[in-house]
Structure 1
């Protein structure tokens, strides 16, 4: 499933994958559905529900990096930035759901999706030492940041709720900045 892009995942979610069944009239297009509570469209909700586990998995990677006293100082600085910034984002993302009267669905729980740093990956990273740890963690962060950026851009091109678009814009900006800190490739 790693090869699946976030755009495809976002499209599947907004089309109803894992969501409530379409209760519209027979023959009605599911693309023209009533927005959920709080004026959020299915695209807005899908973005929030995907961004939350993406952030949580990156926070776990940041915590692992920060536990390593001998980690590369640049990697530690990145992990500190992720740790502080993503916690604020999580509060905002969860706040959007709360304000809309929605609860988190966890429909992505346990999925090996692009942008997620899985428990298995974290366990393997935890076993790595020195430069191998640093390089593998950089690559995990890089993959996460790229996919998170793609998901944010999908929201910016298709979302409608102002609060969610603002979050998407902030995530796009921070992911671009963090990718810059990691440098090429």
Structure 2
């Protein structure tokens, strides 16, 4: 990938601090990671709904939705997965700069990619939420029939079957989605956001 050299950063007249002050809350990226079927999207959208009801400026970046537009040119090779997460990290950073709380629901299987995304943000702005669910349970749920297709050979490079998932070593929050409800998970995250003075 070539990097443009004839560009100059243009400082904005309205700052992140200005937007946060107007919003009456801080901004951050709540980065959900976990296997397909672990419950990332369900929890992310429920959190979004709860924050919206609280009057918080928020947005959800969902893996499947992003691949319909911004990342529709990417496949599922290791290289494409890395580029997928790189782009999402940059987009999430823009949302945080806008003063919003952005939630991202992506498998994001590689630690190095998640760490690269984390490094885009100021201290405390990147909140990694590991939605920890055993492969067997995710495969039992299989809401999109992806595991069945992967097992039959219809899908290649599928995380957890053909491609590894590297669990976070020190996430800010771990949700054991096999044992808690979506609402309980949302409550835990909101409690964390309040404890960190983001809300």
Question: Normalization by structure 1: what TM-score?
Answer: 0.24
Question: Normalization by structure 2: what TM-score?
Answer: 0.23
More strand per residue: 1 or 2? 2
More helix per residue: 1 or 2? 1
